[in-house]
Every structure is written in structure tokens, then in C-alpha cells.
Chains A and B, each alone.
Chain A
Amino acid sequence: MATLSPSYQLQPARVRAEFIRLMPIALFVVAFGAAFGLAAVQAGLTPAQALLMSTTVFAGASQFAALDMWGSTVALVPLMAVVFAINSRHLLMGASLYPMLKELPATQRYGILLVLTDANWAVAAQDYQNGQRNLEVILGGGLVLWLAWLLGTAVGVYFGGLLQQPEALGLDMVLGCFLLAMALGGKKSPRVLVAWGVSAAAAMVAYRWLPPHTHVVVGALAGGVVGYFWLEQKPA
């Protein structure tokens, strides 16, 4: 197998631009971080422990789920299973970036994946569908989201939640609306629409009848199978 020499150069100016581009969504991440910080302290973590968890884990949904399991002792294997199931979407998100990531030197490739999360991945995936290679958003956007998550956690552990009822302002829907906007802003061919239908159906089946937290991976793989058997016509 021929090894391609790395040909993707991360451009610092674009990394900075992507950092700024994701700042609006990062502001909302601060609010979620504050909610996590407050919940973590209430679950018995010290401020330092909550901050450490946000710093190194940086995966909100799984951190909240861990708090649900927190007590005077925590069962190790169930904790690992829940964290893995919730975050297993990263496996697919990373794999989907592989055609671009393989052009990066390995250190950079695995370096920028440290801050891979839903929002910056969604932007990169949408740009890729539209024919643009954008790994800068993984790094720049990831950094601003990570900083926002830390800042929010700090606010939450020291000052409590920012808002009494964030859902009264619709803030619980920020990520959902953002991801939907990314999905619908991308290319919509009949093939993509069929993949979405299959994905939605499979995700719902998994949500109802399979173990908790498996629906994202099941739905995404089902949508991928549509792509496997139905190839896009290449423009000649």
C-alpha cells in the first residue's frame, strides 16, 4: 500500500477564524457548563474534581450521566459502559473525517481529535459535504468550545447555575437546533434523504427497544449502509 505524504497544512489564520466563528455557540456551552458544574457539586464532587472532569473528559452528556451514577461508591464497569455508549458517536464522527485526517501528520491528527465534539464536527462534516476541507474548525472551534465548557463548569461550581430555568428561554434546544441546521444546510440528494429516513427509523427502533444510549450509533450506521449500497453518481 502506497503511503501518501501528509498534504494537509493546518493554517493558523483559519484556526483563529474558526475559533471566532464558533464563539456564539460557545456562549451557550457556558450555560450548559454552569449547569454541569452546579450538578457536579450537588452530586458530591469538589470544585477541583468537577473542573478536572470537564477538562479531561470534555463530553457533556456522558459527564451528566456519570453524575447520575455518583454516590459514596461508583460501579466501575457500568460507568465505563455508559460513558462508552454515549460517546461512541465519536467513533463514527472521527471515522467520517478520516479522508481528511489521513492527510495530516499523525501527531496533529491525534492532537486535534482531543477537542473533537458534536458542534465542531458538524461544521466540518457539512463543509466537507459542500466540497470544502475544513479541519481548522476541529482545532479552532474545538478549543473555543473546550474553553467555554471549562469556564461554564467553573461558574457553575462557584456561583451555581447562571439561570434558574434555562429551558424557559429554549436554551436546552441550542445544540439540537444547531445540529439540525447543520444537517439541513448540507447537500440533499435523494440518496441522502433515503439515508436520513433509514437512520431516523433505525434510531427510533434502537431508542425504544435496544439498550439505552445506542440509538445514535445504530441510526448512523443504518444510514451509512444506504450509502454503501447506493453510490452517488460521480460528475463526469
Chain B
Amino acid sequence: MSIETSTLGTLVLIAVMTGVTLLTRYGGVFLMSFVRISPRIESFINAMASSVLIAIIVPMAYEGDLGARVALLATAGVILVTRKPLPAIAAGLAAAAACRYLIPGA
């Protein structure tokens, strides 16, 4: 089924996107309210939480250009040494910018 992007149709499409996104924001919490939080479940949740970040970042590095990879490496280096997020992010951006300036098309 397709919806025409008329004024009304676009409103319907935006409403559908909003509903689906809201379902994702609420669904996990709602389902968890039926789960008894055992130490095992808590351990699952904690391992999953930091794994979300890794699962976002690793394919990003894989599909990204050299600049993207250098940015992530620089951020990793600085955060591990200084433990301060803002300098780490700044280093990542600077590394990406420098890499793309020096090696265009890499």
C-alpha cells in the first residue's frame, strides 16, 4: 500500500513514522516491566548496554573512509589517556579534517 504525498498523505506518513518511533522508545521499557530482574538479567542488560555502542561504531568504521577511521582512532587514544570526552571528540574531528585535507579522496 502506498500513500500519496499530498498534504493529508504527508501528515499520515509523519504520524506513522512518529508512532513507529514511539513504539521503539517505549517498547523496551514496557516489555521489561514484565521481566523479573535477576542478577543474570541485569548482567545481560549491562553487557548489552555498552555493546550497543560498539555495534554502532564498528560498522561505521568499516564503511567509513580513512578520515572516519582516523577520527575514531584518535578519539580512542585520547579518551584512554585523558579520560576526558570533549578533548577526545575534538581530537577525532581534527584528525578526520586533517586526514581529508592532506589525503583527498582516501
Residues from chain A with a CB closer than 8 A to the CB of B22 are 114
Number of interface residues of B (CB under 8 A): 76
Residues from chain B with a CB closer than 8 A to the CB of A199 are 51, 54-55, 58
Which chain B residues numbered 1 to 23 have a C-beta less than 8 Å away from chain A? Answer: 1-5, 9-11, 13-18, 20-23
Residues from chain B with a CB closer than 8 A to the CB of A57 are 14, 17-18, 21
Partner of B10, one of A45, A173, A226: A45
Q: How far is the CA of A184 from the CA of B54 in the complex (A)?
A: 10
Residues from chain A with a CB closer than 8 A to the CB of B100 are 167-168, 170
Which chain A residues numbered 146 to 182 have a C-beta less than 8 Å away from chain B? Answer: 167-174, 176-182
Number of cross-chain contacts by CB at 8 Å? 292
Number of interface residues of A (CB under 8 A): 99
Q: Interface SS of chain A: helix, strand, loop or mixed?
A: helix
Q: Interface SS of chain B: helix, strand, loop or mixed?
A: helix
Does A14 make an interface contact (CB < 8 A)? no
Q: How far is the CA of A119 from the CA of B61 in the complex (A)?
A: 18
Q: How far is the CA of A93 from the CA of B24 in the complex (A)?
A: 9
Distance in angstroms from A45 CB to nearest chain B CB is: 7
B46 and A227: CB pair below 8 A? yes
> Which of the listed residues A88, A91, A99 has the most CB atoms from chain B within 10 Å of its own CB?
A91
